[in-house]
Amino acid sequence: MVVFPNCKINLGLNVIRKREDGYHDIETVFYPIKLLDVLEVVESNDSNTSIKFTGTGLTVEGNEEDNLCLKAYQLLKTALPQLPAVQIQLHKTIPMGAGLGGGSSDGSFTLTLLNDKFELGLSTAQLLDHAAALGSDGPFFIINKPCFATGRGEVLEEINIDLSCYTIVLVNPGIHIPTRWAFTQINPALPGKQIKDIISQPITKWKDELKNDFEEPVFEKYPEIKKIKEDLYNHGALYAAMSGSGSTVFGVFEKTTPAPLFQDTNYFVKVL
> Does 16 share its domain with 129?
yes
Same domain (yes/no): 69, 123: yes
Q: Of 8, 71, 92, 196, which residue is the catalytic one?
A: 8
State the Cα torsion 162-167-173-174 to the nearest 10°. Answer: 60
How many domains does the chain fold into?
2
Q: Is 221 a catalytic residue?
A: no
pLDDT digits (tens, 9 = 90+) for 62-83: 777 789 999 999 999 999 999 9
pLDDT attached to residue 245: 94
- Which has the closest alpha carbon to 88: 131, 51, 61? 51
Host domain of residue 81: 2-158
Give the per-residue pLDDT at 42.
96
Residue pLDDT, tens place only, 27-37 = 999 999 999 99
Residue 137 known to be catalytic:
yes
Same domain, 149 and 186: no
pLDDT for 49 equals 80
Question: 237 and 205, same structural domain?
Answer: yes
Contacts of 25 (CB under 8 A, 6+ apart): 15, 16, 17, 18, 19, 150, 151, 152, 188
Point out the domain boundary residue: 158, 176, 202: 158
* Confidence band, pLDDT 50/70/90 cuts, at residue 257: low
Instruction: Please give the pLDDT value at position 6.
Output: 98
204 and 241, same structural domain?
Answer: yes
Catalytic residue among 37, 71, 106, 137: 137
> 182-236, pLDDT tens digit by residue?
999 999 999 989 999 999 999 999 999 999 999 999 999 999 999 999 999 999 9
For residue 130, pLDDT beyond 80: yes
Query: The pTM is what?
Result: 0.95
Domain at 97, CATH number: 3.30.230.10
Q: Is 245 helix (H, G, I), strand (E, B) or coil?
A: coil
Give percent of the chain with pLDDT exceeding 90. 87
